[in-house]
Structures are given as C-alpha cells and as structure tokens.
Chain A
Amino acid sequence: SQQGEEDPQALSIQEGENATMNCSYKTSINNLQWYRQNSGRGLVHLILIRSNEREKHSGRLRVTLDTSKKSSSLLITASRAADTASYFCATVLVSGNTPLVFGKGTRLSVIA
C-alpha cells in the first residue's frame, strides 16, 4: 500500500543545529503532510505541501517536495530541545478523498 518512509529512523543533534528529515513515497500524491508526535502524546499537524508546490515555509520549518523523485524533506532550523519528538510524513493519494497513510517516523533528539 502507499506509504511514506522517513529517513533517517533516528537523528541526534545539538541545540542550535539544523535537522533534516526525508520522506519517500511510492505513487502519485495529491499532497504530503508532516506531523509531530511528542512522547506519549497524539500527532500534531505541522505543515502541508501540495503536489504542485515545491517549497513551503512555516516559522522554523521548511518543507520541500520533489514529485519526480517522489520525495520530501523537512528542515528544522536552529533546533531547540523542545523540538525533540518523532516526525512523520503522511500522503494523500492523487485520487483524493483518501485517508492519510503514515510512515514509521524519524525520532529526533535535540541535546541542550
């Protein structure tokens, strides 16, 4: 089934550094979304990028989408300890009106 796969599975960085997470998917999409999950909590929507967009910004977040490579990246600039969480990409198929299918996530640890 359609599923995003995040890479790396785990990432550990120092506070202030940038964190980059990647997502690959298999078939054509309508849009791709990134979510964050703090330990023991539910997922929270971060940002959505549509298939006709190449880059999107929201605060310290920057998302890119390359539909030719079927990949997306999430960049968190100037990371903070509070950014420590798991990050998931989720895709909506081009046929639309389909539920989100999630990858297994990237566990980010930001060390103060």
Chain B
Amino acid sequence: DAGVIQSPRHEVTEMGQEVTLRCKPISGHDYLFWYRQTMMRGLELLIYFNNNVPIDDSGMPEDRFSAKMPNASFSTLKIQPSEPRDSAVYFCASRPLAGGDTGELFFGEGSRLTVL
C-alpha cells in the first residue's frame, strides 16, 4: 500500500513567486494534516482536514498561505507570494478515522522549499 505522497520533494523559487505543494493521503484515511518544520520552530501544525473539510487553520501563518482539499485523495498548500522566511520542509500526514483521537499519523517524505 502506497504511503502519503508529496510533491515536489524539492522546490527552489524566488521571492514573490507562487508555490504549490501537493499531497495524496493514504486511501481511506479521513484526516489530513499539513505541518511545517524548521530548525528554529520545530514542527508546526498549519491546518488539518476531516473528510475534506478544514477543521482548524489557526496555524496558517498569514493570508499568503492557503490550503484546499477538493477530494479525499488530494490536497494542496499554496503560498502566494512566497518570502524567504517561508523556507522550510512542509509535511503532509494522514490518519484513518478508526484511529480516532489516539491513532498514529502517517507522514509523507516532505517538500523542502527554498525561497531565495
């Protein structure tokens, strides 16, 4: 069974450009999470979805960030316009409803973003 799939794995862009990160969760998983990892701040939860509906986006740093989940098998995280301080590794993770509030998260391999 394929795990959580993220693309691109690496992205280098210039300040002001739009960045779109993509995630395909594990089939049958009801929850999808976007995290951002930096050395300074560790792993931060940005937003999470349940059955494609955004539940909590309080971690989204600014209006420049937006996330969508048009269907159960696809989510995007968009940054427009990007800034150098957005440079980080962005992780997508999913888990099944059966796990409830105690289940483990399954992480993708991450998208490393560098904004010059």
Residues on A facing B (Cβ under 8 Å): 30-31, 33, 35, 41-45, 48, 50, 88, 90, 92, 96-105
Whether the pair A98, B43 counts as a contact (CB closer than 8 A) is: no
Residues on B facing A (Cβ under 8 Å): 4, 33, 35, 42-43, 45, 48, 56, 91, 93, 100-102, 104-110
The tally of CB-CB contacts under 8 A between chains A and B is: 51
Looking at the assembled complex, report how far the CB atom of A74 sits from the nearest CB atom of chain B, in whole angstroms: 15
Q: Secondary structure of the B side of the interface? A: strand
Looking at the assembled complex, report how far the CB atom of A38 sits from the nearest CB atom of chain B, in whole angstroms: 10
Residues of B within 8 A of A100 (CB): 33, 45, 105
Looking at the assembled complex, report how far the CB atom of B53 sits from the nearest CB atom of chain A, in whole angstroms: 14
How far is it, in angstroms, between the C-alpha of A30 and the C-alpha of B99 when the chains are bound?
13
Looking at the assembled complex, report how far the CB atom of A49 sits from the nearest CB atom of chain B, in whole angstroms: 10
